[in-house]
């Protein structure tokens, strides 16, 4: 509970003089905010001290928890962002991209104390509805929660509204692999700018950002392989660049045959000035346009699924159908190990249960035959 008192710095309770008698201001007002923090202020006259205490009392009735002045979300975000200097450069780029484009616009013009759990849920729903993946939406929510937790620590709000938030999960697209027929239909409907990209994606299993960032320097024709060391990290056409791969295990070489070699030769000869293989009259095509083109085709061909990663799933399904092992598939796709590959694609491998049962029976039969047909000892 908040309390206040006034001390006479010149006299003790028995009215004897203190060592401060006649020096400085006589009356000291002491205010305790109820959370262990004291504020002291000295005055020449007792009335002045009492008036100051009355002001603190009035403020505490309006703000009984000792909170600081309310702030607009966007103003507080700038303060919070400055405190993230300890983050790695790539992490800061991700924060800037997601918060600037999505989080801050969702709450611009709103005071921190006025943002409710319902507002947070609405923002999360809108981020998902506008095409962000479930993982991306959760990451943006995590940044939002960190901002509000910091505001609680700074005593701007009493508690965070980022509670009991529900998320719409992604469909497991690997369960719905494309057929050869659907891929052929897809290629026939794609704009000529994107058709070669779809062909390379289907033939190599590149991740979408790896595909978008593919450059002439990545193609090693003498060894017939693609070097996957970087992926697209552009946020706008004025800042076209490449950055680290999804994980350290994503770095790999993807071998290609004569058919893919011919397609890559054509792309390399017609590459953009900066070396990008996929461009529109010299201007690199960034992922948002790739996504928009896929959405356009999906309107008339819903079987293609939710995005360019479907071609990666298609490539994996063809490898598995041709008898490739989990280890081989994991190496080509850039998975950490075969465990990851099996977790995603186990349903595509043929169930060998019946065949293994037959093998087991044959072993027993052989054993029985060997015991019954043992040669007699003379």
CB neighbourhood size of 272 (10 A): 18
Q: Please report the beta strands in the chain, taking only residues with DSSP state E, as ranges in sequence order.
A: 3-8, 27-32, 38-43, 219-220, 225-228, 231-232, 242-243, 252-255, 279-280, 283-284
The pLDDT score that the predictor gives to residue 8 is 93
Please give the C-alpha separations between residue 125 and each of 18, 128, 167, 293, in angstroms, as whole numbers: 66, 5, 8, 23
Q: Give the tens place of pLDDT for each residue, 75-89.
A: 999 999 999 988 888
Q: Give the tens place of pLDDT for each residue, 162-204.
A: 999 988 765 555 555 788 999 999 999 999 999 999 999 999 9
Rounded to whole angstroms, the Cα distance separating 351 from 339 reads 17
The pLDDT score that the predictor gives to residue 62 is 46
- For the question of whether the overall pTM of this predicted structure is more than 0.95, the answer is no
At 94, which helix (H) or strand (E)? helix 89-98
Rounded to whole angstroms, the Cα distance separating 47 from 217 reads 80
Structural domains of the chain ordered from first start: 3-62 (no CATH), 73-153 (1.10.150), 177-348 (1.10.443.10)
For the beta sheet containing 225-228, the strands, ordered from the edge strand earlier in sequence to the opposite edge, are: 219-220, 225-228, 252-255
Q: Which residues of the chain, if any, have pLDDT below 70?
A: 1-2, 34-36, 58-67, 169-176, 350-356, 358-359, 361-378
């Amino acid at each position: 509970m908040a309390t206040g008192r006034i001390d006479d710095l010149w006299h003790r309770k028995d009215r004897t003089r203190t060592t401060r008698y006649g020096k400085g201001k006589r009356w000291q007002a002491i205010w305790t905010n109820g959370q262990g923090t004291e504020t002291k202020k000295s005055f020449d006259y007792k009335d002045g001290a009492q008036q100051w205490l009355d002001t603190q009392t009035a403020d505490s009735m309006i703000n009984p928890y000792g909170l600081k002045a309310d702030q607009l979300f966007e103003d507080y975000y700038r303060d919070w962002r400055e405190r993230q200097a300890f983050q790695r450069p790539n992490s800061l780029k991700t924060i800037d991209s997601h918060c600037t484009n999505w989080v801050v616009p969702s709450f611009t013009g709103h005071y921190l104390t006025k943002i409710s759990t319902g507002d947070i849920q609405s923002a999360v729903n809108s981020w998902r509805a506008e095409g962000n993946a479930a993982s991306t939406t959760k990451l943006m929510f995590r940044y939002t929660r960190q901002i509000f937790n910091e505001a609680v620590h700074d005593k701007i709000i009493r508690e965070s509204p980022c509670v009991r938030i529900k998320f719409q999960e992604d469909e497991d697209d690997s369960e719905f692999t494309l057929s050869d027929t659907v891929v052929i239909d897809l290629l026939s409907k794609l704009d000529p700018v994107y058709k070669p990209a779809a062909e390379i994606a289907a033939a190599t299993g590149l991740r979408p950002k790896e595909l978008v960032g593919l450059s002439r320097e990545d193609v090693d024709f003498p060894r017939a392989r693609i070097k996957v060391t970087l992926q697209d990290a552009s946020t706008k056409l004025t800042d076209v660049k490449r950055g680290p791969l999804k994980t350290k295990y994503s770095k790999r070489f993807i071998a290609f045959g004569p058919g893919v070699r011919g397609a890559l030769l054509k792309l390399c000869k017609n590459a953009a000035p900066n070396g990008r293989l996929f461009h529109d009259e010299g201007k690199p095509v960034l992922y948002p346009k790739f996504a928009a083109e896929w959405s356009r085709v999906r309107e008339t061909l819903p079987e293609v699924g939710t995005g360019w990663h479907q071609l990666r799933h298609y490539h994996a399904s063809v490898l598995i159908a041709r008898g490739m092992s989990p280890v081989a598939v994991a190496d080509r796709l850039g998975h950490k190990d075969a465990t990851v590959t099996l977790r995603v694609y186990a349903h595509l491998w043929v169930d060998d249960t019946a065949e293994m049962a037959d093998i087991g029976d044959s072993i027993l039969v052989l054993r029985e035959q060997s015991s019954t047909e043992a040669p007699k000892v003379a």
